Amino acid sequence: MDLDVFVMTHRAEWDRLDRLLRRGRRLTGAEADELVVLYQRAATHLSLIQSSAPDPTVTGRLTQLVARARATVTGTRRASWRDAARFLTEGFPAAVYDSRRWWIPTAVLSTLLAAVIGWWIGSHPEVQSAIAAPDELRQLTRPGGEYETYYSSHPAASFAAQVWTNNAQAAAMCLVLGAFLCLPVIWILFLNMANLGVGIGLMSSAGRLDTFLGLVLPHGLLELTAVFVAAGTGLRLGWTLIDPGPRPRREALARQGRAALGMAMGLALVLFVSGLIEGFVTPSGLPTWARIAIGVFAEAAFLTYVYVLGGRAARTGETGDVDDWERSAELPTAA
């Protein structure tokens, strides 16, 4: 191999790769893909020179160039506090806003289902007797019964941690299992709404629906919203597998999957807040109106966060997906 001819032939590609690497995160999607191609070619060139015509100067330059390109392509960059702030102010709220056409109908239909189940149980004594014996029902619904003592049966901190863990797991299952054609998400939603409906029905039949709602609403508004967002996103992910739209199925599913994973982290924070309310506010001695007001405020704050910050970010093109330059790292990087 004539080294001089080889260098003259490929020097423009190496210089172009060097210029792209110097631009860092300012690359467009097309430039990021070009960087990957040039990196693969440079790695091949380095291998050819080392095996056929080793030259310290050329080899040294290409070794450094390939190492820098590999670091960029394989994503060795570490996340910073700026990334976390951007995720919380743009990525996460934009993803929730972007999926609103899925989670809002999910919330409405699920709430109606819980109300119907509650009405059915509350107005049919035979259904109540099929759920539990009369003595057990009285134990559940009487003043100071299990529905009321549930929220104060453990220390507030440990109870909040337990609630947060359980709810985060449920939300994560909705997000992940949506890829299985939506069916597991529908089942998880049904179980949660059936459980809520049973509480509504039994407490209403005992004339204590106001007490039940006073216990559920402070934390339940935010908690159920997070579950509905997770379920709606999971359903959207499953539907993408069925109907990917104009994109190839693999690309569309990857895009929704990446956004769903990011949303899981954001919803964990939302559920942490609802867990704190359930652990410290719900069983507190505050008047019912005050506890419900705290829950309404938390819900209103979350919706404002989604529609103001999320809507603004979504209008600039933010979807909650990773940046183009990070997406290109998914391409093969071996020479």
Q: What rounded mean pLDDT belongs to the chain?
A: 84
Tens digit of each residue's pLDDT (9 = 90 or more) over 110-153:
999 999 999 999 999 999 989 888 888 888 888 888 877 877 76
For 139, what's the count of Cα atoms within 13 Å in the CB-facing half-sphere?
5
Q: How far apart are CA 164 and CA 276, in angstroms?
A: 8
Helices 249-276 & 209-242, crossing angle to 10 degrees?
160
- pLDDT for 331 beyond 60: no
pLDDT of residue 262: 82
**Mean pLDDT lowest for which of 52-61, 106-115, 324-333?**
324-333
- pLDDT for 74 beyond 80: no
Higher pLDDT, 158 or 282: 282
- To the question of pTM greater than 0.85 for the whole model, the response is no
Tens digit of each residue's pLDDT (9 = 90 or more) over 246-257:
877 777 777 787
- pLDDT for 332 beyond 60: no
Q: How far apart are CA 189 and CA 65, in angstroms?
A: 52
Angle at CA of residue 55, ends 53 and 60, nearest 5°: 130
- pLDDT for 325 beyond 80: no
pLDDT of residue 329: 39
Helix intervals (H) in the chain: 3-23, 29-52, 56-73, 81-86, 92-98, 100-122, 125-131, 134-141, 146-149, 156-177, 183-205, 209-242, 249-276, 288-304, 311-315, 324-327
pLDDT classification of 225: cutoffs 50, 70, 90: very high
Helix (H, G, I), strand (E, B) or coil at 178: coil
Q: Are 137 and 125 in contact (CB under 8 A)?
A: no
Tokens (6 digits) for 186: 């529908």
**Mean pLDDT lowest for which of 30-44, 77-91, 269-283?**
77-91
Q: How many other CB atoms are there within 10 angstroms of residue 100's CB atom?
A: 17
Q: How many other CB atoms are there within 10 angstroms of residue 35's CB atom?
A: 22
Higher pLDDT, 163 or 243: 243
Q: How far apart are CA 188 and CA 301, in angstroms?
A: 26
Higher pLDDT, 190 or 70: 190
